[in-house]
Amino acid sequence: MIEKVKEVIEKEIKPLLMMEGGSIELVGVDDGIVKVKLQGACAGCPMSQYTLVNFVEATLRERIPDVKGVVRVNDFRGMQ
């Protein structure tokens, strides 16, 4: 399933987010839950949760019925 998710993100979701100055990175898929990092303008946008649910999750669930949901993973690199 991860390959299907990658394809939808790269071909359908990421290009539209990039038009608004944002981006998205796939972190992984665990039991139907897709984990992503929002980047660029999307990372700090007050509407990011709306984008995550109503665009990213909706698109993935429409294209891949096995997707149960999408969660945002924060990037804490360098923090132990």
Segment 18-33, tens digit of pLDDT: 999 999 999 999 999 9
The beta strand positions in 1-80, using DSSP E, are 22-30, 33-40, 69-72
pTM for this structure? 0.86
pLDDT at 68: 97
pLDDT at 75: 57
**Whole-number Å distance between alpha carbons of 45 and 63:** 26
Name the percent of the chain lying above pLDDT 90. 75
Task: Decide if pLDDT at 42 tops 90.
Answer: no
DSSP letter at 69 equals E
Strand pairing report for 69-72 and 22-30: unpaired
- What are the chain's domains? 2-72 (3.30.300.130)
**Whole-number Å distance between alpha carbons of 37 and 64:** 19
Reported confidence tier of residue 45, pLDDT bands at 50, 70, 90: confident
